[in-house]
Amino acid sequence: MNRFWSHTARELSPYVPGEQPRGANVVKLNTNESPFGPSPLALEAMRAAAADTMRLYPDPEATELREALAAHHGVKPEQVFVGNGSDEVLAHAFVALLKQPKPLLFPDVTYSFYPVWAQLFGLACETVPLDDDMRVRVVDYRREAGSIVIANPNAPTGIALPRAEIARLLDEHPDIPVLIDEAYVDFGGESAIPLIADHANLLVVQTMSKSRALAGLRVGYALGQEGLIEALRRVKDSFNSYPLGRVAQAGAATSVRDEAYFRQSRARVVAGREAMTRELVGLGFIVLPSSANFVFARHPARGGAELAAALRERGVLVRHFNKPRTADYLRITVGTEDDTRRLIAAAADILRRNSAG
Ligand SMILES: Cc1ncc(COP(=O)(O)O)c(C=O)c1O
């Protein structure tokens, strides 16, 4: 605290990002990054973009990237909005669409940035509890609302809602904006993108940070009918006209076009998730059914904080959320085969010591 702080700065409870350690020899399973590198073609495009033209501002409309995304997802370029990570896209959507006179609804256990943006931008919000199996139930959203945001698959549970359930949610709330945050959808969820054509209130947000292994580039995007996209552009052009640099636009566009690499690396992550789940279950963990690049797991014999700290001592970083409904759990990102071996060896060692006394 400092006497020069604004009232807004004083009142904030900022989001706490996962640790990015500087040392090399840790197994980093705490921020849902991809264990595999980005498309080699995308890397090549980024190197080529790092040229004399960097003295010029980038295309403020990111036209090539939006065209690539539109072709990939079967929509028009005018239905695509891009930003500096999906975090920025989501933040703009909070201001442009979700801020309504009635409250914004989201699950009680979900991406912890939602309440932070709600506070920053002055949105009234209400949380809707997940059911006892940690699932979103669409019927629970039948109440007075100004807008809705749902992560699908949800984070940190990893549990996905089928597209038919999202369609039901949209049909039950035709007069308010509904945002579906699909940061993890490529790992096994059903995207709501096919519902855009028939639902003027649907905004779908995706990211290149997870399935395209470009967390370091900061590129996210939204798809929706043109009226919603126009609102996002109005906010963006009132904040930062050039959210994506030349290198980011070139790398992201090439990544979107490299379908073969995308499919292959996504399949490896899904196979790694299934293998990691089997190993964890073998150690007695209860693992929620994940459609993401992470699992949410708890062990009946040990608390989440204790397990996370003991794993950390053994050089394995996982994420722990110290809130009432999540305190028992660990969120563990799918790593390489070697990462999983080290995770499982460390967990087995911790549990052995526990049972020894
Ligand atoms: C549910 C969800 N949405 C959005 C994001 C933001 O991703 P990015 O800003 O890297 O696109 C994350 C990141 O972890 C997430 O978990």
Q: Is the CB of 283 under 6 A from ligand 1?
A: no
Q: In what order do the strands lie in the sheet with 294-298?
A: 286-287, 294-298, 329-333
User: Relative to the CA of 84, which ligand 1 atom is closest?
Assistant: 9
Residue 46, pLDDT above cutoff 90? yes
Cα of 183 vs centre of ligand 1, distance in Å, is: 6
Q: Is the CB of 86 under 6 A from ligand 1?
A: yes
Q: Is the CB of 183 under 6 A from ligand 1?
A: yes
Q: Is the CB of 117 under 6 A from ligand 1?
A: no
User: Model confidence over 169-202: pLDDT tens digits?
Assistant: 999 999 999 999 999 999 999 999 999 999 999 9
Cα of 108 vs centre of ligand 1, distance in Å, is: 17
Which of the four pLDDT bands, split at 50, 70 and 90, describes residue 17?
A: confident
User: Relative to the CA of 110, which ligand 1 atom is closest?
Assistant: 1
Evaluated on CA atoms 153, 74, 210, 55, the torsion sign reads negative
d(CA 151, CA 349) in angstroms, rounded, equals: 34
Which of the four pLDDT bands, split at 50, 70 and 90, describes residue 16?
A: confident
Q: Is the CB of 285 under 6 A from ligand 1?
A: no
User: Model confidence over 275-331: pLDDT tens digits?
Assistant: 999 999 999 999 999 999 999 999 999 999 999 999 999 999 999 999 999 999 999
By alpha-carbon position, which residue is closest to atom 12 of ligand 1?
183
Q: Which residues contact 244 (CB under 8 A, 6 or more apart)?
A: 58, 62, 65, 82, 83, 84, 218, 219, 252
Q: With the CA atoms of 264, 267, 271 and 277 taken in that order, what torsion angle do they form, in degrees rounded to the nearest 10?
A: 140
- Average pLDDT in the 14-34 region? 88
Residues 253 and 64: beta-carbon distance below 8 Å: yes
Which of the four pLDDT bands, split at 50, 70 and 90, describes residue 133?
A: very high
